[in-house]
């Protein structure tokens, strides 16, 4: 997929070292559910090899440089959990919002998603802004596992159902 500034593509084995480098930063890993800390290239390779059916995972590139990941896991009911991370050197440029918008457009129009859900850990204002810009509706407080911290933490949960106007805009670009 292509957006105005980004290319979203399949994640491949040769991405493992870059994924470990970017996602292995404490400031990234400590705000995600599934990224361990420290994060080695071998662990990233194991994750790439273990992507399961039903998971749609896209590497995010800016000017041919790998900067993060965005994707979703869909269940039999058409509900999909959205996830994303951007390497710390690329924070604050709207890349997560741009990538997630394209991924959600794909989910709604091509993958049969009827509803996206997502959450962010409390204390993660950057992710909260992304979710707000995407148009998600707050549905309540929850908890979320953080692999890097090895514990459950307070989180905020959101949902977004079709129709979704950002999806239409993303497809037009």
Does the structure show a pLDDT above 60 at 9? yes
Q: Kindly write down the DSSP assignment for every residue of 67-93, as one continuous string.
A: EEEEEEEE-TTSEEEEEEEE-GGGTTS
- State residue 164's pLDDT score: 66
Q: Give the model confidence (pLDDT) of 121-157 as tens digits.
A: 999 999 999 999 999 999 999 999 999 999 999 999 9
Q: Residue 145: how many CB atoms within 10 A of its CB?
A: 14
**What is the CATH T-level fold of the domain 6-172, as seen in this structure?**
Aminopeptidase (3.40.630)
CA–CA separation, 143 and 122 (whole Å): 9
Q: pLDDT at residue 61 above 80? A: yes
Mean pLDDT of 93-122: 96
Verdict on whether the full-model pTM lies above 0.85:
yes
For position 159, what pLDDT does the model report?
A: 97
Q: What is the pLDDT at residue 54?
A: 78
Q: Which two tokens stand for residue 81?
A: 């959990």
């Amino acid at each position: 997929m292509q957006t105005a500034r980004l290319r979203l593509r399949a994640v491949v084995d040769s991405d493992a070292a870059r994924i470990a480098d970017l996602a292995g930063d404490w400031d990234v890993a400590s705000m995600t559910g599934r990224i361990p800390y420290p994060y080695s290239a071998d662990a990233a390779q194991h994750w790439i090899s273990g992507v399961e059916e039903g998971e749609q995972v896209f590497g995010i590139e800016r000017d041919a440089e790998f900067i993060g990941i965005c994707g979703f896991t869909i269940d039999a009911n058409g509900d999909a959990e959205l996830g994303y991370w951007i390497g710390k050197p690329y924070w604050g440029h709207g890349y997560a919002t741009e990538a997630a918008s394209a991924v959600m457009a794909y989910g709604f129009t091509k993958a049969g998603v009827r509803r996206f859900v997502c959450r962010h850990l409390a204390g993660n204002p950057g992710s909260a802004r992304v979710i707000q810009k995407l148009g998600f509706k707050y549905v309540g407080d929850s908890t979320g596992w953080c692999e890097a911290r090895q514990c459950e933490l307070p989180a905020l949960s959101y949902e977004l159902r079709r129709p979704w106007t950002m999806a239409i805009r993303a497809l037009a670009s």
